[in-house]
């Protein structure tokens, strides 16, 4: 009799707890606000714990530009990337885009592969993925793709090299971009 009761109790305990994760339900464990991590998909993705539109504490994603890497939850250039001041400093298939300097919480522009099929620098945009530079910036005339510059000469006739405050994976800095057309 005792053996039958112990067996029945064991069956009940097995039914109460899960033995493996259910793939149909995401991990609902809340993250710690400000916590950062990286994921690798078709590109590196930086993630930070924050609040979504429904005030839930979740990991918010910021895909990194093509060719960049994610370290400690921040988009960074690969080891061999060249720093740049303007787009003309980069090869024809590259664009000058802001990333986090490795080992530092500072932004610097690096030559990175252009986002295929995306808008060129200074073109209108609505989100980062719309731009070859993977940076869509709000200017007084609307949102435009980032175009790195060091002076007005890099921007072309009628445009100015203007400073803008941007935040890239949690690091805020002033960068120079060509004014909107």
Local confidence band at 158 (pLDDT 50, 70, 90 cut-offs): confident
pLDDT tens-digit series, residues 4-58: 444 444 444 444 444 554 555 455 567 999 999 999 998 999 999 999 999 999 9
Residues with Cβ within 8 Å of 78's Cβ and at least 6 positions away in sequence, in order, are 67, 68, 69
Residue 147 clears pLDDT 90, i.e. is over it? yes
Local confidence band at 73 (pLDDT 50, 70, 90 cut-offs): very high
Query: b/e map of 36-73 (b: 16 or more CB within 10 Å)?
Result: bebeeeebbbbbbbeeeeeeeeebeebbbbbbbbbbeb
Q: What is the pLDDT of residue 29?
A: 63
CA quadruple 82, 86, 91, 95: dihedral sign? positive
Say which range, 9-23, 68-82, 110-124, 167-181, has the weakest mean pLDDT. Answer: 9-23
Q: What is the pLDDT of residue 159?
A: 87
Residue 108 clears pLDDT 50, i.e. is over it? yes
Q: What is the pLDDT of residue 24?
A: 54
Mean pLDDT value across the chain: 85
pTM, entire model: 0.78
Residue 95 clears pLDDT 90, i.e. is over it? yes
Nearest-angstrom CA–CA distance, 111 and 97: 6
Say if CB 25 and CB 17 are below 8 A apart.
no
Say which range, 28-32, 52-56, 66-70, 149-153, has the weakest mean pLDDT. Answer: 28-32
């Amino acid at each position: 009799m005792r053996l039958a009761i112990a067996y029945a109790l064991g069956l009940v305990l097995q039914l109460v707890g899960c033995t493996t994760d259910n793939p149909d339900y995401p991990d609902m464990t809340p993250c710690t606000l400000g916590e950062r991590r990286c994921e690798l998909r078709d590109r590196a993705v930086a993630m930070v714990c924050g609040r979504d539109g429904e005030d839930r504490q979740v990991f918010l994603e910021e895909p990194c530009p093509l060719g960049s890497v994610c370290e400690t939850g921040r988009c960074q250039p690969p080891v061999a990337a060249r720093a740049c001041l303007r787009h003309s400093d980069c090869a024809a298939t590259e664009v000058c885009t802001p990333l986090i300097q490795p080992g530092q919480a500072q932004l610097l522009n690096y030559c990175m592969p252009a986002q295929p099929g995306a808008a060129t620098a200074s073109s209108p945009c609505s989100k980062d993925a719309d731009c070859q530079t993977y940076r869509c910036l709000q200017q007084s005339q609307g949102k435009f793709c980032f175009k790195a510059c060091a002076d007005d000469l890099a921007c072309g006739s009628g445009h100015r090299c203007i400073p803008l405050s941007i935040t890239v994976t949690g690091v805020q800095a002033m960068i120079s971009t060509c004014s909107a057309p």
